[in-house]
Every structure is written in structure tokens, then in C-alpha cells.
Amino acid sequence: MKKSWVVMLLLLLSCGFAMPAGAATPRTDAPLVKDGIRFYPKNKLSGVQTYTVYYGEDKIEEMKRFDLAILETASQTEERIRDLTKSGTIALGYISIGEADPETWYYPFVDKKWMLGDNTNWNSQFIDVRHQGWHDLVLNKMIPRIAGYGVQGLFLDTVDTVDVEPGMKDAMTDLIREIREAYPDLILVMNRGLTIMDEAIPYIDGLMFESFSGNVDWDTVDWDTNPPRAVYRQWTGGDELWTTDVASKLGEWQRRTGLTVLALDYSNPGDKESIEYAYERATAFGTGLWDFVPYVSTLDLQHIYKHNIDYQRSDAFRDSDGDGVTDAEEIEAGLNPAKPFSKKKGLSDLSVFEALKVKQWAEERLKTAADEKAKAALSQVAAWMDSFMQKPDLENIMFARMFLLQYQATAEPDPGVTETMSRLNDLTWQLKSK
């Protein structure tokens, strides 16, 4: 028997861990293992449960009531922002990376060749981000000036300009990556940019879904009132379905990486029904699964609102240490949700969690297995996962794979085999990438 194990092990090695015919290929969505995600764990905003967006002057004391404040540094002073951050509120400075405002200090540095056209809603210019000169202006002039106010991060606005000219998607993603690489310690929150979110999310800590539950009728905006009044409509039909689809994808990103998702909506002050709807949709979304952080304001963002809304947030996807395993899952597995390496032997909590899931699956199948060969194979899978947690090496994973294949050969088609094999593939990747 021992000799046959060696023969089978050599066969597995010679085949490059080949999957059996008809089985799925190794998962490509394993958390924190590719596309830059593992290098930028998303736990900087894990404690944020409330936030505000305010582009006016002063009002520091009001912003202190929130965990996170997105502000316009040009409207504040270093002293005020220092006072805000000392109170424990995280401060993010506003920066437009897809448009240029003629009223800003940097506008004289904007080359007219970079301009794509007017954004008539906000009296700004769409920028063609494929020009390296714009990247240089953002990286070398705009960000240093904003960061100099003492903010802990940046709010990357106007990413949606890529939808004006879809050919800019790669260039916008490159710009966000360049910001992350040039300023690795800054917290980065991207506003929308939903058509490039899969490419950009590896480099950011949070994503704001502006106009999550509804939108403004721009023809009704009265800028002469303070705050400006308008007609706001909740999404319906195809728009509602689309936002739901995007939200589910963001929820999956959050589950996999700990990404913080902020939901921003607009309403007329005092419209309690609309405000409550926006909060409830963001935090529960029908099933209470996605844990978005809500805020409702007025269109000018020149006021701060602390809404007294009775709602329940879900912690189903909170990942405090950014290791790809939720706090609830870590607690259930006997791990510390505040540390990505809470066990000895240098084994990450993610690896421990995957190994435990394989072991638990084998033990559950063992309870109902009738075939003696199937029982023996399942027992060996569980045993080799125990061995892996004591001695995390490839040999333990390879033997577990071998016995999983033996079980598959003796049992009825079992969809759990594919998922379990994927977990073993993930463990292999994690060990090889250490």
C-alpha cells in the first residue's frame, strides 16, 4: 500500500496536478492571491460604519461625529484637518482624476489638448486620461498639495469619465495603479468607475457607489435655493436591476477582499421616506448581505446631515484584517479576526480556513458514505488536512488530492468534490507564493 501511494504521488507530479476529466479548472477568484490584491489588503477602512461628504468650509466639529469624512482641502486649513484627524475621524481629500474644473488652482497647468469636452452639469472639462501629461499633473502636483493638508487618503472622483470615451479604460486603471504605487500609505476610495471596477479594485481601499438608490432630474435643480432643491427619483425597472447586479458584484468583492463600499444618495432635506429607503437599501438590500455604508446628502454637498434612521447593518462580510476570511468565519474557525496570521508555524488564517473547510467537508461526507473505499478515502483526506495544519507543506496537500480523487472514483457524482479540489488548489498557490 505504501508503495502505491508513492506511485500515485509521482503520477500526480508528472501530470502537473491534472484535474480529472470533466472537473472544473482551478478557481481564479481566490481571495488575496492575484492582480495586486494580496499586496494591498483592504482593512484600512474596516472600522468605518458612518461617513459624510462635505465640500464646504469649517464644520470640523460636525464632521467629528463620523468615522470618515470626505472633504475639499481647498476649503479647509491644515490646522482644522489636523484637529479632525486627532479626534479619530479619517479624513480623505477630494481629487478629480477624470475632469478639470476651471475654478481650481491647477487648471492653468491643464493642456487644452487633454480636453474632451464640457460636463455641462458641473461646468467642468472631461479629460483624456491617455495623455501622460495629465498623469504627471495628478501625481506630481495635485496629490502632493492635497496630501500636504494632512489627510490620510484621497477620494478619487470623476472616474466615470471613462464612459465618455471607453478607449480610456486602460489608461484610467493605469492612473489609479500609479497613484497606489506612488503613494502606498494613502487610503484610496474611488467614486463609481463601475465599468473598470474589476481592474481598479486591486489598488483601492474603498469604492463609493454614488446615486445607488436613485438619481436627480437635472432639469429640476434649483441652484438658487440653499440647499438646492430638485426632484429625486428612486431607480426603477432596468436601472434598479442594473444597480442590483453591480451591488451583488461589489458584495462579492467585499466578501473576497474586505473592500469597503460606501453608498451615497441625494434627497431634499426632510424627505424622510426617501432617506430611509436609501439607508435600508444600502445596508440590507433585501437580504442584509452586503454591508454597504450609507449616507444621504444634498446635491451641492455643502451641508452635513446626521440622519436618525433606525436600520440594521449586516456584518456578514466584514473582514477586519483584510485576509479574505470574514470575521464571522474566523471566529467560527477559532481564529483571531484582527490578525491575518493568528496561528503558529507561519500559516495564514486564510490557509487554516481553507484546510478546515476541506477537513469539515470530508468529515460530513464520511457520515453518510456507504462504500468502504469511499469511507477510507474520506478519512485520509481529513487526516492529511490535520497533518497540513501541523506541518504546512505541499506533500500533505498532494496526498489529500490523491485521496480526494480516490473518493471521486468510488462515489456518485458529487459537486462538493470540485469545490474541495479548488480549495486544495488555493492552498497549493498560497504555499508556493510565500
Among residues of the chain, what percentage have pLDDT more than 90?
59
Q: Are residues 270 and 206 in the same domain?
A: yes
Q: Would you state the pLDDT for residue 21?
A: 31
pLDDT band at 69 (very low <50, low <70, confident <90, very high): very high
- pLDDT at site 86: 97
**Which of 271, 295, 322 represents a domain boundary (last residue)?**
322
pLDDT at 2: 37
Residue-wise pLDDT tens digits, 346-392: 788 989 999 999 999 999 999 999 899 999 999 999 999 999 998 89
- What pLDDT is stored for residue 64 in this prediction? 97
Instruction: Give the per-residue pLDDT at 402.
Output: 95
Q: Which of 16-25, 188-197, 202-211, 363-372 has the lowest mean pLDDT?
A: 16-25
Do residues 67 and 18 share a domain? no
- Let me know if residue 279 belongs to a domain: yes
Q: 345 in a domain, yes or no?
A: yes
Same domain, 294 and 338: no
CA separation (Å) from 166 to 95, 113, 118, 169? Answer: 21, 18, 17, 6
pLDDT-wise least confident of 88-102, 256-270, 350-364? 256-270
> Cβ distance 154 to 93 under 8 Å?
yes
CB 214 within 8 A of CB 232: yes
In tens, the pLDDT along 27-64 reads 233 334 444 444 456 678 988 889 999 999 999 999 99
Residues 201 and 350 placed together within one structural domain of the fold: no
DSSP annotation string for 197-260: HHHHGGG-SEEEEETSSEEEEEEEEETTSSSPEEEEEE--HHHHHHHHHHHHHHHHHHHHH--E
pLDDT at 1: 40
Per residue in 289-314, pLDDT (tens digit) is 567 899 999 999 999 999 887 766 66
Residue 431 pLDDT exceeds 50: yes
> Are 136 and 158 part of one and the same domain?
yes
Q: What is the DSSP letter of 154?
A: E
Coil vs helix vs strand at 431: helix
Q: How many domains does the chain fold into?
A: 2
pLDDT band, very low/low/confident/very high, at 256 (cuts 50, 70, 90) = confident
**Containing domain of residue 427, as a range?**
2-31+328-432
**Residues 377, 286 within the same domain:** no
Eight-class DSSP state of 264: E
Q: Which of 37, 42, 77, 33 is nearest to 188 (CA)?
A: 42
Residue 74 has pLDDT above 90, yes or no: yes
